[in-house]
Structure 1
């Protein structure tokens, strides 16, 4: 029996025996299970590659293979992406948000595995990015495609995308609460209590899969040994501002460097330039290799001297001030390395780099205060953890995710107060300069993503090309009034576009323009259309966003505007037809 026949029988049985609400709950658990398995496979696959490539490295010697590994990884990723998968990479979470906003939450089936393969190559060979965004894309693709397979609606598919991302994040960090909050803060724009439960189920199942297969072998974990001291509060306030500014630096540098590397023409040329540049940076600063969680572990354990392992500067291992300079260099260069990796064609995300930069920032802050003896010694491990929360909150614009992720990683809420302080201040600081995150900024600027505005959200779902009216009869500018009157007899509209031989709109004539002369025989013979026509108040393009179109209607007071693409007349769009499409979309959303 064919698969489609089996699926049809299952769907019929499901409709008879399981209501949609309960079916979504069951499906969310399945998605959490598959997303959790995907996270485990990716995590272990990357670690196996990295260990195989670096197991013979001697910590007291510089390793020149650092110069070649990132280049190999990026070139392999580009070749795989271009010639086999035939996809474009970039920021994966941005693509998911675009898919939810503009593609009815339908994620390509190949993304259920493509990002796992490409990110394993990129990060395994030292690309300075994280695995979280690729696994979120994988989990989201799993949720979307299962939703399509069982014929769920757009709203339900979107929820399952959120379930996939929650299951993936919870599995990769063993942090179920952070997984749920990440989906709510970053992926889903609207959430209700009824949709909250599937996210919980998927996230818990994802964590259980990870715990069952890997135990406590997560990307990194740490048990707190020092508690929060209220006397340290002023320093956490300053750290909040500092991490906010570092978040701004990270955001701006990543955007700038990505723009520069993308100016290089040709995918392989771009991969070559980016890979060579990245390899050089990693050779000088080995902690930039891969995700960087090993570096964070060193800092949390108080072994900052290990940062100099495998580097040209191993001989400076006992110099307190050189270690500080080395950490500052890592802080400044990490955003460049991340942007080179992504911009040159590598696969990965900014989730891990934001945690890495945050840990470096928090450690550096406490380290400098301690060596300068400004106050009583600060806990470098606590400030490292809280710094991670601060920069992640600023870069991702997800303060709650940052707070609960660090709280769960440390297996307690001892640092909950400083986590809240630093995350809130960091988010407020960067929001003053950058209103949107790296994920959402390009989409919002193009009008492809709209938050917290129901009218604009519904308008953005309307495809202008589908409501263009092409039944208006056109007239040549050199035609007589008589020819126009003949059109009036057959037309059901009172607007007549005046179009020349090149299909260019040169004006319009309305029924009101000719009403007083249309029955005069002399006028019908002698008056030419181009003496009667007038210019429309403005025109629109079928490629414009609906928000832009509505602004033009508002500014002109018109009810009908011509649609012109590349200088050619296409048709007219009417405000009444837009309102009708809007009403239908709104009713459909309410039903769903």
Structure 2
């Protein structure tokens, strides 16, 4: 059969055909205008098929553009409000000849900003503010990446007011949350699936962080390492695209200069790595101190609010007043100011400021944000870490001047190490600081100290800045998995009985014959009563195959007995954690009463089942599984 060639202008006719079909349907539609709009949008989305990989990349570009532009406006708005609140207002005081009272006026500026934030949340948003990044992680883990559509605007307004009037929070985490909300909103408008919605949320978060720090690689790693935990190509590609676009937007308006003015540093000697290790240990302990101070103050605010029945809208004003009383004596504590970090990384910061900022920065941040204000913990952690590194660097450089760099290098490394300890995300911090500095040699100490800090913080205190509040809200996130979903699912759901067993008296010849005639790579060993004894894996089989004589060898001689086990009463979350922290790809399931082997759980099947239930979270099917 001869096919007619495609006629010129067929694409235009297809577009006309789509609109014709819409208008034709509208003549017979009996609903209201809102329902017609919804139906029309659904029809257009089906025709455009944006869920496909290539069209989805164009949506990621849109999210990157929107987030990058909002980040620029956000940056300029904070600068404008801070200039009006301090520089312009102080000029007014000088004009009317009352400049001597300016110092006593400063705390009331922060209090006024807190009051505006409290009133806005109480009467416009009509809800208590969430916990920044923790709320984004919760949306990913429990809510299919869905965030309230107006959150990006509300968060932008409250953050600008809070930070611009002298609040102690940082601007980086709010723009990440704003970007995540923009990505989620776009996904909801285009009716995307839960997986695509979470990916677009990550696109917005990556674009926001990349735009603020001028660090696209760090933004990508943050979205993947901290928020999504998904390194697949389908997730990775659109996030990279969005981060690049967000960075380009930021550079177009704010320039390509780095966030911090950092001189060139290098590793003076290999011995110096020992000092960076000790700095990593101190940073990990300091990160734990930061987290505990912050949440102690936040919980104190919650107690006095209930005890004294203080209106919710007044709490941020109280926190702003208290933080302002501290900042009036140490202005470097303000959230909009990065002068202390710039001085520290150049080695010019004095001892008085470094000691004061190190101990008071978590207090000021907690007074502002913990009382109901707005801001993030990224910048406060970096500022505290820079002071720690600066003090440590001055000491070691004084004692060992020939084998150590100046204090500025240690301030830079300390800044990254303490932030890694608080977030438990060393890869993100390493990449951000690499992009900020543009120096490869200083990355080696940063890597060493950041990983050390993250490990020390994890060993010392099990909560990160985000997981503490998430567990209080009933969301358990650990080892890269949302444990609040898996902890309700019985291990029986993923237990299989198709496995190969040996008795402890099985001969080596039979075991080798079975090994070559079955696809299994792990074999379970039981005693004569069916009780579990251990596992024979590839390592043990390799030993058998290399043995010169198999005579007399039995399973009991080579079985690995130190094996983690599951019981029939175990929940899925315990199995997932064991798979994450051990090298086993198959675990035995035993009877809790007599240790008789009942079945096995395979790693791939367990995680596949978990991901399926995560997508079903909140549905009737999931509730039936819980019950």
TM-score, structure 2 as length reference? 0.68
Q: Are residues 229 and 275 of structure 1, via their aligned partners in 2, closer, same or farther at CA, if it must alter by over 3 Å?
A: same
Which of 283, 288, 302 aligns to 2:328? It is 283
Match of 1:203 in 2: 243
Q: Are the aligned partners of 2:194 and 2:615 in contact in 1 as well (CA < 8 Å)?
A: no
- Residue 191 of structure 1, CA deviation: 2.9
Q: Are the aligned partners of 1:273 and 1:344 in contact in 2 as well (CA < 8 Å)?
A: yes
Matching of residue 53 in structure 1 with residue 85 in structure 2: yes
* Aligned length in residues: 458
Match of 1:569 in 2: none
SS in 2 for 1:109: coil
Which of 347, 358, 379 aligns to 1:352? It is 379
- Counterparts of 1:145-544 in structure 2, within 5 Å, are 145-216=185-256, 220-230=259-269, 231-265=271-305, 266=310, 267-304=312-349, 323-370=350-397, 378-444=405-471, 446-452=473-479, 456=483, 458-459=485-486
CA distance in 2, matches of 1:555, 1:79: 56
Matching of residue 8 in structure 1 with residue 47 in structure 2: no
- Residue 83 of structure 1, CA deviation: 0.4
Q: Are the aligned partners of 2:387 and 2:411 in contact in 1 as well (CA < 8 Å)?
A: yes
CA distance in 2, matches of 1:77, 1:188: 30
Which of 25, 28, 40 aligns to 2:57? It is 25
Moved more, 4-13 or 149-158: 4-13
- Residue 441 of structure 1, CA deviation: 2.2
Cα deviations by residue, 1:155-209 (Å, 9 ceiling, x for unpaired): 1111111111000000111100000011112111333122111111111111011
Match of 2:596 in 1: none
- Residue 379 of structure 1, CA deviation: 1.5
- Residue 461 of structure 1, CA deviation: 8.8
Match of 2:541 in 1: none
Cα deviations by residue, 1:112-150 (Å, 9 ceiling, x for unpaired): 211100000000001011112211111111111111111
Cα deviations by residue, 1:210-269 (Å, 9 ceiling, x for unpaired): 011211356x23343332212422221211111111111111111111111221222244
Q: Are residues 48 and 344 of structure 1, via their aligned partners in 2, closer, same or farther at CA, if it must alter by over 3 Å?
A: same
SS in 2 for 1:388: helix
Cα deviations by residue, 1:418-461 (Å, 9 ceiling, x for unpaired): 00111011111111112231112222355413344879565469
CA distance in 1, matches of 2:358, 2:324: 17
Give structure 1 stretches of 5+ with no counterpart.
305-322, 463-544, 549-553, 557-580
CA distance in 2, matches of 1:254, 1:410: 29
Q: Are the aligned partners of 1:101 and 1:461 in contact in 2 as well (CA < 8 Å)?
A: no
Q: Are the aligned partners of 2:421 and 2:454 in contact in 1 as well (CA < 8 Å)?
A: yes
Q: Are residues 264 and 245 of structure 1, via their aligned partners in 2, closer, same or farther at CA, if it must alter by over 3 Å?
A: same
Cα deviations by residue, 1:251-304 (Å, 9 ceiling, x for unpaired): 111111111122122224423432221111101211111243122112233432
Q: Are the aligned partners of 1:291 and 1:352 in contact in 2 as well (CA < 8 Å)?
A: no
SS in 1 for 2:477: coil
Q: Are residues 376 and 141 of structure 1, via their aligned partners in 2, closer, same or farther at CA, if it must alter by over 3 Å?
A: same
Cα deviations by residue, 1:400-426 (Å, 9 ceiling, x for unpaired): 111111111112322111001110111
Q: Are the aligned partners of 1:102 and 1:461 in contact in 2 as well (CA < 8 Å)?
A: no
CA distance in 2, matches of 1:583, 1:174: 34
Which of 107, 111, 117 aligns to 1:71? It is 111
Cα deviations by residue, 1:375-404 (Å, 9 ceiling, x for unpaired): 666322211111111001001111111111
Q: Are the aligned partners of 1:101 and 1:449 in contact in 2 as well (CA < 8 Å)?
A: no
Q: Are the aligned partners of 1:66 and 1:283 in contact in 2 as well (CA < 8 Å)?
A: yes
CA distance in 1, matches of 2:284, 2:611: 42
- Residue 12 of structure 1, CA deviation: 2.9
Q: Are residues 587 and 67 of structure 1, via their aligned partners in 2, closer, same or farther at CA, if it must alter by over 3 Å?
A: closer
SS in 2 for 1:64: helix
- Which structure would you say has the larger RCO, counting Cα contacts within 8 Å and 6 or more residues apart? 1
Q: Are residues 458 and 431 of structure 1, via their aligned partners in 2, closer, same or farther at CA, if it must alter by over 3 Å?
A: closer
Q: Are the aligned partners of 1:98 and 1:449 in contact in 2 as well (CA < 8 Å)?
A: no
Q: Are residues 326 and 135 of structure 1, via their aligned partners in 2, closer, same or farther at CA, if it must alter by over 3 Å?
A: closer
CA distance in 1, matches of 2:485, 2:263: 47
Q: Are residues 299 and 348 of structure 1, via their aligned partners in 2, closer, same or farther at CA, if it must alter by over 3 Å?
A: same
SS in 2 for 1:263: helix
CA distance in 2, matches of 1:171, 1:455: 29
